[in-house]
Amino acid sequence: MKSNIYRSAAQVTIFSTVEKGLSFLYRIVLSRTIGAEGLGIYQICLTVFAVFLTAASSGVPVTVSRLMAKSTASNDMKGKHSAVTAGIICTLVITVPVAIILFFGRNAFGFLFSDKRCIDIFIILLPGLVLTAIYSVIRGSFWGNKQFLPYSVIELLEDAVMVICGVILCLGAPDPVTGAKFAVIAVLISYVFSFAVSIGWYLTSGGKFANPKQQLKPLIASSAPVTAMRTSASLLNSAVAFLLPALLIAGGASNSEAMSLFGIVAGMAIPILMMPSSAIGSIAVVVAPELSENYYRGNSVAVRKDIEKAVGAAIFIAVMIVPFLFVLGGAISEFLYSSKMCGEIVIYSSFIVLPMCISMMTNTVLNSMNCEKQTMIYFMIGAAATLLCIGALTPLIGVYSYVCGLACSTLISAVLNLRLLKKKCERINILKYILKGTVVVLFACLFGWLLNGILKRFVPPVAQIAVCAPVLLLFTAAAAYLLKLFTFRPLKRLVSKE
């Protein structure tokens, strides 16, 4: 299996990139059909929904995957099926009562939304809470069995269903609120689709349900910290969705203006900054089961190599993206969203991408090594920094306070995660990748800034992107190769017949 790790990572990355590309294009369509105000309402509904979904199931799939990897290491097939069944039971025990309470007590939960128009739209998503929680467990079983093709296909098709339904419905929306409602209905349809297909695929490919008693206790013990951390992340996003518009209104903005500003930063700029997440997530999905197996087998040499490869890949991805966003973030934002403000946010925030990528990957690596409690504590520290930045800086710099908070959070998480990794595996050498990556980023940003400064005097934004983007990416890749941030060995392994 190990000889196929590069091929698996490439397969997942390709599917994930197409999926994220669809979602990205969909946001552009939404921004033009339902407007920044409708996008803000839609974003708030999804953010609050994500809190409950995360609390119900976020730690379960990764724990199911790890328990299945542990069972594989000990040749315990019954344990693998028991882990899946235990995961489904845990999610149902939480999601069904929560969905019922939220539906019948909707009027009591209005405090969750900064805009009361969101409540009735949010209720539409409740059936998806149960269905998506179950699907997340099945998704974890695909990871644990290293069945990356079904996982990739279902994720892509789910997004495609959402985009197709959303475009059809939102094109006829008469106002922003109705448009947000139609967009949420499209999300629910996609949840129903992924649930049905994943269950069918799992059962027809040999998946079974077994007595959960064997894995129930270890699953709860391991998934609780991960769930707590990811629930805190969703609560943080929900708190930002409530606090930031409220502070903007307190500063003199109208309700519609506050929703529009929040829509620009959370619905337009942040998704651009999150571009690397698809590649990072793909690599993490493939590396995590492999790393867990090596960790439980006590193979320290293989664990060290897995860590260095995973974190090194995350740094390389960030190195390629940061100069691109720093130089072309403005032109891309104006071309996609016709928003100068979005472009300014992307440019100023581009350097966040490096610690963000390191934080994402090291979280997965540490969780694969049974360090869920520590990563949860680190996240909480970063979350506190985010809220402090928003609370203190919004009156001074407006929505840019969110960017400052995000920068503090990712930097704190990255530094603390790397420190813990060094303790867990003393021989790893990641600092050299970070130093080399920083040098490449600085030189590439300077080169791109000079090149783009010349181009924008003579050509429109579309031509800027068409000419500058490939030249800048080639320059960055060449600099990274010269400093040995990557080699062509993975490509050779990818096309080999091993």
Question: What would the pLDDT profile of 324-364 be if each residue is shown by its tens digit?
Answer: 999 998 888 888 777 888 889 999 999 999 999 999 899 88
Give the mean pLDDT of 276-286: 77
- Quote the pLDDT of residue 5: 64
Whether 170 shows a pLDDT value over 70: the answer reads yes
Higher pLDDT, 10 or 140: 140
**Taking all residues of the chain, what is their mean pLDDT, rounded to a whole number?**
84
Banded pLDDT at 197 (limits 50, 70, 90): very high
Residues 6+ apart with CB under 8 A from 173: 33, 34, 38, 179, 182
Give the mean pLDDT of 273-289: 78
Banded pLDDT at 488 (limits 50, 70, 90): low
Asked which of 23-32, 69-78, 262-271, 360-369 is least confident by mean pLDDT, the reply is 69-78
Phi, psi at 102, each rounded to 5°: -65, -35
pTM score of the predicted model: 0.70
Whether 395 shows a pLDDT value over 50: the answer reads yes
Asked which of 162-171, 283-292, 367-376 is least confident by mean pLDDT, the reply is 283-292
Using one digit for the tens of pLDDT, what is the confidence trace for 128-144? Answer: 999 998 998 898 888 87
Other C-beta atoms closer than 10 Å to the C-beta of 368 total 28
Asked which of 7-16, 41-50, 297-306 is least confident by mean pLDDT, the reply is 7-16
Alpha-carbon span 282 to 11, nearest angstrom = 9
CA angle (247, 250, 253) in 5-degree steps: 95
Identify the CA nearest to 235 among candidates 47, 21, 398, 472: 47
Banded pLDDT at 492 (limits 50, 70, 90): low
Asked which of 187-191, 357-361, 368-372 is least confident by mean pLDDT, the reply is 368-372
